[in-house]
Amino acid sequence: MLTEEENRLLTQVGPGTRMGDLLRRYWHPVAGESEFESRSTKPIRLMGEDLLLFKTLKGEFGLVARRCAHRGSDLGFGIVEEDGLRCSYHGWQYDLGGACVHRPFDETVAGAAALRRAVKIAAYPVKIKGGMLWAYLGPLPAPELPDWETFSWPNCFAQVVIAEIPCNWLQCQENTVDPVHFEWMHNNGPKRRAGDFGPFSPKTLKMGIEDTEYGLLSRRYREGTDESTPLWSVGRAILWPNGWYFGHHFEWKVPIDDFNTLFITWSVLHVPRECEPYAQASIPTWHAPIKDQNGEWIISHVGNQDIVAWISQGPIADRTHEILGASDVGVVTLRRRLLEDLDKVAKGQDPRGLIRDPARNVKIPLPCIAREELMNGLPREQMEKHPVMGPFLRDFYSMAGQPDAVRQAFEEAMGVRQSSFEVHSFVPQ
Ligand code: FES
Ligand SMILES: [Fe+2]
C-alpha cells in the first residue's frame, strides 16, 4: 500500500514531475523504423509532451515539439527536407536539433539578418536499434542505448507490435514482477471461461526477486518442478525502469502521459535450421487493436489478457486501498527501488540500470531461458516440440490482430503454415 503522495510521485510523468524526470534519463522505444517506409512524419505524445517524429530525405530521424514556433501550426502536416523539417504553413524550417534555419519571407525582405534572432523548438535525440526508433528526453549527456545481445541474433524473424493502453504506465510494469498472474490470468481464467473445469494449471510454489545491474531478476517455480527449473535457476530480467525480457520477447511500457501508455513489444523467433541462412530485410511493425468490432476488450491472446488486467485497475491504480499479499513481494520491491531512484536523481546521481561506458555496451547478454536454442535455432522437428518455440511456430499468441502480410512473411521465413490454437490449452513459459 502506498500513500496518496507516493502514488502521485510514482505515476506522474509530465515535464517537471519527479518520476517524469527519472524516466527521461532512459532511452525508450517509441516507434518502428519500418513505419517510416510509408510515411515521413508521425505525431507522438511521450510523457505528456506532444512531439513529432520524422525522417528526413537523407534518412535521418528527428523528434521535435509538435508546434511550430512561428504561429503554432501543427508540424505533423510539415514537409521533410534533406536535413530537417519544414512547417507547411509559412515554410519555416527546423534542423534535427530544433533550431529554425530558414524563414523564407523574412529572409526575402531582410536577408540573413532575419535569422539573427535564434528561434528553437524542443528537440530530442533519436536512435535506431532492433528495427525500433528510440528516443531520449533527458539531460545530456545521454547514457548508452543498451545493445542487448538478442537484437543481433542471426537467422531470426522479428516483429514490433505497438498498442496504446488507456492507463498509467506503472500498473503495466508492476505486472512484470508478478509471476503468480501467469497461472490465473493466462491459464485458469481462460480455461474456466472456455467451460473447462480442470485440472487447473500447476500452482506457483515459490517466487523470488533480486537486484541486478540492469534492474531486477524475477524467479519462480511451479508445482512439479523445483529450483533446478530455468524459471528459477536463470529467471527473467526486469529491465529498468519499464522493460521486461523473455528471450523470445522484449516489452516496454512507455508513458504517453499519466493516463495512457505505449505498449511496445519486440518478438523474435529463429528460423528452423532447414531455412538457414535467413536475413530479414525489414522488421515489420504493426499496431494491435485492444477492442474487437463490437467494442469488447480482446482477451484471446496472452498480451491482451495482461492489457485488460492493467486497464481494469483504473486510469491510475489506487494504491492507497489495496491489500497486498505474499505474491506482491516483487511489486513492493519495484516500487521501493523506484522511490530510491527518485531520491538519487534529486541528489544529482544516476538512477539504476544506466550504461555510461560504450565499451561495456556491446551485445550484452541477459538471463535467458533456452538461450542456446533461441539464439542458434533447432531443426524443425525439435523446434515444433520446444515449449517456447513450438507454440510460436503455430500461432502468434502474444497479441491479437497480426496483419496478414506479417503472418505471410513469417510463414515464408519459417517454411510453415500457421494455424490457430487455443491459448488456454498450453502453459506460457
Ligand atoms: S506557423 Fe509554422 S511557419 Fe508559420
Ligand atoms: Fe501476463
Considering the domain delimited by 32-128, tell me its CATH architecture.
Answer: 3-layer Sandwich (2.102)
Strand partners, 161: 265, 286
Give me the pLDDT at residue 117, please: 87
Give me the pLDDT at residue 162, please: 98
- The domain segmentation of the chain, as residue ranges, is 32-128, 144-425
For ligand 1, atom 4, the nearest C-alpha belongs to 90
For domain 144-425, give the fold: Naphthalene 1,2-dioxygenase Alpha Subunit; Chain A, domain 1 (3.90.380)
Residue 283, C-alpha cell as written in the block? 522488421
Distance 103 CA to ligand 1 centre (A): 9
* The residue to which cell 565499451 is assigned: 359
Give me the pLDDT at residue 20, please: 98
pTM for the whole thing? 0.96
Give me the pLDDT at residue 413, please: 97
Residue 230, C-alpha cell as written in the block? 530455468
Q: Near ion ligand 2, which residues have CB within 5 Å?
A: 306
Nearest to 89 by CA among 109, 103, 110: 103
* The residue to which cell 538457414 is assigned: 276
The answer to whether 249 and 228 are in contact (CB under 8 A) is: no
Give me the pLDDT at residue 115, please: 85
Contacts of range 66-69, beta carbons closer than 8 Å, 24 or more positions apart: 67/121, 68/92, 68/121, 69/100, 69/119, 69/120, 69/121
Distance 66 CA to ligand 1 centre (A): 12
Distance 90 CA to ligand 1 centre (A): 5
Strand partners, 176: none
Distance 84 CA to ligand 1 centre (A): 15
**Ligand 1 pocket, mutate which of 70, 85, 115 (most atoms under 8 A from CB):** 70
Give me the pLDDT at residue 422, please: 63
For ligand 1, atom 3, the nearest C-alpha belongs to 90
Give me the pLDDT at residue 199, please: 87
Residue 33, C-alpha cell as written in the block? 523504423
Strand partners, 42: 53
Distance 257 CA to ligand 1 centre (A): 26
Helix (H, G, I), strand (E, B) or coil at 145: coil
CA distance 115 to 260: 39
CA distance 343 to 349: 9
CA distance 288 to 337: 31
CA distance 81 to 100: 13
Nearest to 29 by CA among 55, 49, 53: 53
Whole-number Cα distances in Å, 219 to 45, 223, 367, 370: 34, 14, 11, 15
Give me the pLDDT at residue 363, please: 98
Give me the pLDDT at residue 424, please: 55
Q: CB under 6 Å to ligand 1: residues?
A: 68, 70-71, 73, 87, 89-92
CA distance 351 to 139: 13
Q: Encode the chain (429 residues) as per-residue pLDDT tens digits.
A: 899 999 999 999 999 999 999 999 999 999 999 999 999 999 999 999 999 999 999 999 999 999 999 999 999 999 999 999 999 999 999 999 999 999 999 999 998 888 888 999 999 999 999 999 999 999 999 999 999 999 999 999 999 999 999 999 999 999 999 999 999 999 999 889 889 888 888 999 999 999 999 999 999 999 999 999 999 999 999 999 999 999 999 999 999 999 999 999 999 999 999 999 999 999 999 999 999 999 999 999 999 999 999 999 999 999 999 999 999 999 999 999 999 999 999 999 999 999 999 999 999 999 999 999 999 999 999 999 999 999 999 999 999 999 999 999 999 999 998 877 666 556 555
Residue 357 has a CB neighbour count (10 Å cut-off) of 8
Write phi, then psi, for 27 (nearest 5 degrees). Answer: -75, 140
> What atom of ligand 1 comes closest to residue 91's alpha carbon?
3
Write phi, then psi, for 37 (nearest 5 degrees). Answer: -80, -25
Give me the pLDDT at residue 423, please: 60
Work out the burial of residue 215: count CB atoms within 10 Å of its CB; fewer than 13 is exposed, 13-18 middle, 19 or more buried: buried
